[in-house]
Amino acid sequence: MATATVSSRSRGTVAVRRELGVMAGYAEVGGVRTWYDEYGTGEPLVLLHPGMVDARAWAPNAGALAERFRVFTPDRRGHGRTPDVDGPITYEAMARDTIAFLETVVGGPAHLAGCSDGVTVALLVAMFRPDLARRLVLAAGVFHRDGWVPGTAEMDDASAGFLAAGYGEVSPDGPEHFPVVAAKLARMHAEEPVLADSELKRVTSRTLVMVGDDDEVSLEHAVAMYRALPDAELAVVPGTSHGLLVEKPEFCNKMIVDFLALDPVPTLAPIRRAVT
């Protein structure tokens, strides 16, 4: 996601907001003053942004998805317009926040689409509260930290500057707080997540696993996620990287809408999904 500029990402968000008309604001969610946007009508769909950025990362996708769904784009604790809170940032804490958001703001179950760190959050929500997770879209994320291609989790000066600039544009904590959040997330990424393949079997939602063919997530890990989830489909998006949703938005948006809105098609020669 760091391939886009802060300014272009912001302009894309403004365009989506003007076109659709949104309800943006704050809600007290599990003790966290959470900022979110709401777009469109239909079945609820919650978009869970990547780590160290915010809901603006969904600008290439939110408009197309809102043509079919009632889309919510919350900023998680310490990200975007949602302030940081005392203590460490963990995937479990963010999943608990998302559960509270579903109960408090959405008012019930929803489809969940996560990108990068948002994938792990979506998986944990589906494990903790399967009653709140309809279908899942998991794009370019991991269930175990070993799924990242070696070296990709390290942040160079250019990436740090890009992320700090985006944070400073909107954070209520001010740009000077960025090093605090960055340190919390660096600790989280070094130690988490550590889910086992066997734990993914608790996810009952129909799931689409998406990965770029040149992603920061290894293809082997994406395949392992697909195989471990009981009701999963796999999409390797050709010619893309970790920014697949930005690099080929029309392609990815159609795939996501079709997956969430349509029933599975009968297949002629199923192996994994064969009825025994």
Q: Which residue has tokens 């998680």?
A: 76
What pTM was computed for the model?
A: 0.92
Every domain of the chain and the residues it spans:
6-261
The predicted pLDDT at position 4 comes to 34
Q: What is the CATH architecture of 6-261?
A: 3-Layer(aba) Sandwich (3.40)
Using CA atoms, how far apart are residues 187 and 7, in angstroms rounded to an integer?
A: 28
Q: Which amino acid is at 251?
A: F
Cα→Cα distances 233→16, 137, 197, 211, 237, Å: 29, 10, 16, 12, 13
**pLDDT tens sequence across 234-262:** 999 999 999 999 999 999 999 999 999 99
**pLDDT tens sequence across 206-239:** 999 999 999 999 999 999 999 999 999 999 999 9
Class of residue 67 by CB neighbours under 10 A (exposed 0-12, middle 13-18, buried 19+): middle
Q: What is the 3 state secondary structure string of 187-234? A: HHHHHCCECCHHHHCCCCCCEEEEEECCCCECHHHHHHHHHHCCCEEE
Q: Which residues pair with 70 in a beta bridge?
A: 44
Are 242 and 1 a contacting pair, CB within 8 Å?
Answer: yes
What is the sign, positive or negative, of the torsion defined by CA atoms of 70, 71, 77, 80? negative
Q: Residue 10's pLDDT band (boundaries 50, 70, 90)?
A: very low
Q: Where are any strands of DSSP class E within the chain?
A: 25-29, 32-39, 44-48, 70-74, 110-115, 133-139, 207-212, 232-237
State residue 33 phi and psi, 5-degree precision. Answer: -75, 95
**pLDDT tens sequence across 115-146:** 999 999 999 999 999 999 999 999 999 999 99
